[in-house]
Structure 1
Amino acid sequence: MPTITLPRRARAQLGAIDVHIARGGHPVLQGVDLTVAPGSRIGVVGENGRGKSTLLHVLAGSLEPDSGSVRRFGSFGVAEQETAVTPGRTVGDLVDLELVDAHAALRAVDDSAASLAEDRPGTAGAYAEALDIAEQLDAWDADRRVDTALEALGAVTDRSRPLSEMSVGQRYRVRLAALLGAQHDFLLLDEPTNHLDATGLEYLTQQLRQTRSGIVLVSHDRALLSDVATSILDLDPSRGGRPRRYGGGYAGYREGRRAEYARWVDEYGRQQAESTRLAGDLEDARDRLLTGWRPGKGTGKHQRATRAPALVRSVHRRQEALDEHVITTPVPPLRFSMPALGAELDRLEPDVALLHAEDVTVAGRLGRPVSLAVAAGSRLTVTGPNGAGKSTLLAVLAQDIAPTTGVLTVDPVVRVALLAQESSPPAGTRVRDAYDAHLGMLVSSGAVPDAEVVQLEELGLFAEADLDKRVRDLSMGQQRRLDLAMVLATRPHVLLLDEPTNHLSITLVDELTDALGATDAAVVLATHDRQLRRDVDRWRQLELGT
């Protein structure tokens, strides 16, 4: 019988103990302790670049920590943000990869049944063992479970379809469906909602809430975290320098994080004040020692001779006690700052469209004719299931794709910029150099006047230490931040956003949402992010059909 990894169910174990990882001399993970039990659902959050995806790799066993240990017992399913494409591989190959144990168990049942029918000696025990393993894996129903998930997630169901012909999102949905059907002991999911529409999101949420698997979920999706996570591991800096785990689900994390940071700032302030007082006391005691200070008459001779040195020693002891419990400086969170956009178009009449699309279609991508007008300062949300043409429509409005039929008219003075779903291939240049080169191109071409140039540091998207990183070394979330910075550098009058919250941290998503409501630029938004759609539910809606 082939080697088959059986689910361990209640006996499954996954835990990390004091895990540390550094890259290029910079810490990525520091002192991570985590225990995942079957049935637990742990959300992992933190600013972009804090090591969330790295933690999943460590838990999965594909990356060894620099120090610390990880214990694993059971079967594991991992959904990374991107699925590598091997030439010639198909949808069926990707499904078979997750169902390898179930398929092997069914073959073992068939083989032992054939041997039993031939009345070979010792085959009855082999057949009973094969049946037991197949039942533990629920192997007979595995392919049906995957097929159901493929349909519900809007994934490609043709198992002969080559992966190379599919988009990143299509491949991710296939992988996710296969994982849900495999019923592993543990699911390690990296941004699983990025490529799902409303129907897929509802199905995923339901499956994660019902599964017996232990789940570690890296996500920016506030609605998913609220609906699924029973606890949250926060990788952002804390008072002790280690990640903090919060109970009470997403709501407990939000409240706990605010309270924790407030205590950190308060205790640091009180310690700094005490340190200042001790420095003053030490200076005063030393002055007394140098000037030969003595207490007043009536004090014992020995006491009079030693009082000043004793004061110095006392202050030193108090300072040493303070140093033993030093509180690190609170790390100020990044604060996104949207530059002023669109205000100079106030001279245009309010009812004059900045851009106007009339009955536009794109062959094979946007079948039904779409008409819309975008006025200065207007807000529009484009909705519809995967495949309806939302990304294509935004690309047409950005003049990146020419419509097959219909007409697009853009006012000559209007600057239009699109934040697309996927980043350009990462380069070897440094972050600040890549941004400055882009800025230089905009200015030299006359697209952006010198007076309207926005420096990268002004946007609050990167910590100073990250500006000298090479783009290829950034996390996907940090690459997404750079994409956003490049778009804002154009100072657009019309801002087109295609799934803008993908890969971004929760804090930045909140700040970006507020900024979109306040900017003078016109905004056209396509998103499946349920919380973002709730936040912009008063915007004008354009529903695209399939």
Structure 2
Amino acid sequence: MASPHHLKFDGVSFTYPGSVDRVLTDITFAVPSEHVTGLIGENGAGKSTLLELVAGKLEPDVGSITTPPTTGFIEQETSLPFSAAASELIDAAVAELRDVERQIGDLSARLADEPELAEAFDAALATAEQSGVWELDSRIATVLAGLGLAEVPLETRLGDMSGGQRRRFALAALLLRPVDALVLDEPTNHLDDDGVDFLISELHEFRGPVLVASHDRFFLDKAADSLVDLDPGLGHEGGGGEDTRQGTVFTGAFTDYLEAREDIRRRWEELYTVQEHERARLQKATEQGAEDIFHRETSKSESRISDKFFADRAAKTLGNRLRSTRSRLEALEREELPPPPARLKFHGIPEHTSLASLGEPAVVAKELVVADRLGPLTVTVQPGDHWLIEGPNGAGKSTLLKVVQGELEVNDGLLRIPEEVRIARLSQDDEWIELDTPAEEIFAAKVPPKSPTLVEMGLMDEETAARPLGELSLGQRRRVSLGIILASPPDILLLDEPTNHLSLALAEELEEALEDYPGTVLLATHDRWIRRRWAVRTNGRGKVLSLPGRDG
């Protein structure tokens, strides 16, 4: 029988103390039992803030949040004590179920002498059967194996684990704990493909409501049956510059969301075009001189009385028309629809075609080795090829990109790249020192003159671009790095986990932009959504290089 519980947000708004900018505005949606709702939105849209409100760490300024009696919550970064062993974490998670087992044993021993305990015994048995108490040990083994933790000894201290292992143990504890609802923040971080598949199956079998914030498009497409987009810009497509409501609800999986969002954008573009045509017409009408209209309206009668009569009538008509036109123009400007954000595009494709004219490969590697990090590797990359580099952690994906860029030396083998080519790499983690400098100034200093701005490239709005880099999120800083490369794309473009920290919409637009990029691309990623659609999204140019895992 399904749980009757649900999560509900009713008109929730929130502003951090001391700030004048509201983070969340009028959030209203519900997550029913046996439903998985994905929480998405641009960087800084308030996803983590909303989850902290659910967890009770923050209180909304207005509105209310309804949660089931027991809501399980896991954050992006766990605060578990490093001194505890993994076994303590698991034992704490299943303590309630162990208590039921002990209660049944105690009641069973007393039942013969105290028959009045029969009702309590039956209730305990029902709870045990419903909660899977009798299969608890098997269940623990299944969850640990499903999340890739079967080989980690339970006596291992959390402080002795990697961050990814601690994160997975925290997720395991949450899945083992008997709760009425689940609230998850980026749960697929540190999970491999098998772990993601296991989590998806767990959420499908869960009887309560699930709210999950995630950038994992594959996971959202397979796990979620609805999505809530916190991007306030989605409210603009219906018109009205003051519409700042958040929480647009989309029914269906991520694929359905993409189609619906594209429909919204197309409608937004159409409405904006109509608006601007109407604005131009009204402005022209208000600028039209009274004399022009008077000449068209004045009668040709030779009578002075008649001339004055028609002139007065024309002036009155002109005044009415101008007032009406100005009124409509003012109404349009009050309720004007902002322009849709520019789509991400490559700009400034290099004019020289050195790779093609030389008639030789872009990259040639033969038995290439970087000690303890890569190889031996043999591969030939032709000009214009788009290569997807995949493999487990430690396989050498990032190492290969650094070698191609010239940042790392090879220990053995051959690497040949034409000297004339331009190479640029988007690293997996950005390192900035100009944290007090506005993003737009940093960008302008690192790109060629007359390059498109961050705003023109669709990477940021004007307010965000004007803020110091230190005030921006990781995803927003990554947009600056991406923009610097895209403003003047190279012959060989190296992308290391390019969708890390990017919003889902921008990640989609980046992939679309890559489809038409004529240069050579080497893209290393764990992103399953990219890997699953690689051949289609690269117009048949896509090739795959799978690097095997390395021992240890």
TM-score normalized with structure 2 length:
0.74
CA deviation profile, 1:359-391 (whole Å, cap 9, x unmatched): 42543x65x633334444333222234554434
Q: 465, 468, 482: which is aligned to 2:466?
A: 468
- The aligned counterpart of 1:372 is 379
Equivalent residues in 2 for 1:396-407 (5 A)?
Answer: 396-398=403-405, 406-407=412-413
Q: Could you tell me how far 1:523 is from its partner in structure 2?
A: 1.9
Structure 2: unaligned runs, 5 residues or longer: 237-242, 292-296, 300-304, 307-312
Pair 1:524-2:516 in alignment = no
- The aligned counterpart of 2:254 is 250
- The aligned counterpart of 1:337 is 346
Pair 1:179-2:174 in alignment = yes
What is the identity, as a one-letter code, of the residue corresponding to 1:145? Answer: R
Q: Could you tell me how far 1:110 is from its partner in structure 2?
A: 3.1
- The aligned counterpart of 2:218 is 223
Equivalent residues in 2 for 1:318-467 (5 A)?
Answer: 326=335, 328-333=337-342, 335-337=344-346, 340=349, 343=352, 345-346=354-355, 349-354=358-363, 356=365, 358-363=367-372, 369-386=376-393, 388-398=395-405, 406-407=412-413, 409=415, 411=417, 413=419, 416-424=423-431, 428-432=435-439, 435-436=442-443, 456-457=454-455, 459-467=457-465
Structure 2 residue matching 1:78: 3-state secondary structure: strand
Structure 2 contact 387–544 (Cα < 8 Å) conserved = yes
Counterparts in 2 of 1:195 and 1:430: CA distance versus 1, 3 Å: farther
Structure 1 contact 43–231 (Cα < 8 Å) conserved = yes
CA distance in 2, matches of 1:185, 1:495: 48
Q: Could you tell me how far 1:259 is from its partner in structure 2?
A: 3.4
Structure 2 contact 107–117 (Cα < 8 Å) conserved = yes
CA deviation profile, 1:171-215 (whole Å, cap 9, x unmatched): 444433443344643333334445443333333333333332322
Pair 1:260-2:268 in alignment = no
Equivalent residues in 2 for 1:117-266 (5 A)?
Answer: 135-139=129-133, 141-142=135-136, 144-155=138-149, 157-164=152-159, 166-182=161-177, 184-236=179-231, 237=233, 238-239=235-236, 240-243=243-246, 244-266=248-270
Equivalent residues in 2 for 1:55-74 (5 A)?
Answer: 55-74=50-69
Q: Could you tell me how far 1:271 is from its partner in structure 2?
A: 6.2
Q: Could you tell me how far 1:34 is from its partner in structure 2?
A: 1.1
Q: State the identity as a percent.
A: 34
- The aligned counterpart of 2:38 is 43
Structure 1 contact 46–234 (Cα < 8 Å) conserved = yes
Structure 2 contact 454–480 (Cα < 8 Å) conserved = no
Structure 1: unaligned runs, 5 residues or longer: 1-7, 288-292, 298-303, 441-447
Structure 1 contact 45–232 (Cα < 8 Å) conserved = yes
Count of residues paired in the alignment: 521
More divergent stretch after superposition (215-224 vs 117-126):
117-126
Pair 1:19-2:12 in alignment = yes
- The aligned counterpart of 1:506 is 504
Counterparts in 2 of 1:475 and 1:139: CA distance versus 1, 3 Å: farther
Q: Could you tell me how far 1:345 is from its partner in structure 2?
A: 3.6
Structure 1 residue matching 2:67: 3-state secondary structure: strand
What is the identity, as a one-letter code, of the residue corresponding to 2:379? Answer: L
Q: Could you tell me how far 1:60 is from its partner in structure 2?
A: 3.0
Structure 1 contact 360–371 (Cα < 8 Å) conserved = no
Structure 2 residue matching 1:10: 3-state secondary structure: coil
Pair 1:541-2:541 in alignment = no
Q: Could you tell me how far 1:35 is from its partner in structure 2?
A: 0.5
Equivalent residues in 2 for 1:58-137 (5 A)?
Answer: 58-84=53-79, 86-89=81-84, 91-92=86-87, 95=90, 99=93, 102-107=94-99, 109-110=101-102, 113=105, 135-137=129-131
Counterparts in 2 of 1:131 and 1:224: CA distance versus 1, 3 Å: same
What is the identity, as a one-letter code, of the residue corresponding to 1:529? Answer: D
Q: Could you tell me how far 1:42 is from its partner in structure 2?
A: 1.8
Q: Could you tell me how far 1:38 is from its partner in structure 2?
A: 1.0
CA distance in 1, matches of 2:322, 2:455: 47
CA distance in 2, matches of 1:58, 1:250: 25
CA deviation profile, 1:82-134 (whole Å, cap 9, x unmatched): 4457543554455556x2xx214414643784697599999988877766655
What is the identity, as a one-letter code, of the residue corresponding to 1:218? Answer: A
CA distance in 2, matches of 1:513, 1:379: 12
TM-score normalized with structure 1 length:
0.74
Q: Could you tell me how far 1:33 is from its partner in structure 2?
A: 0.6
What is the identity, as a one-letter code, of the residue corresponding to 1:406? Answer: D
CA distance in 1, matches of 2:83, 2:441: 35
Aligned-residue RMSD, C-alpha: 5.0
CA distance in 2, matches of 1:15, 1:115: 39
CA distance in 2, matches of 1:86, 1:397: 42
CA distance in 2, matches of 1:141, 1:473: 50
Structure 1 contact 13–36 (Cα < 8 Å) conserved = yes
- The aligned counterpart of 1:445 is none
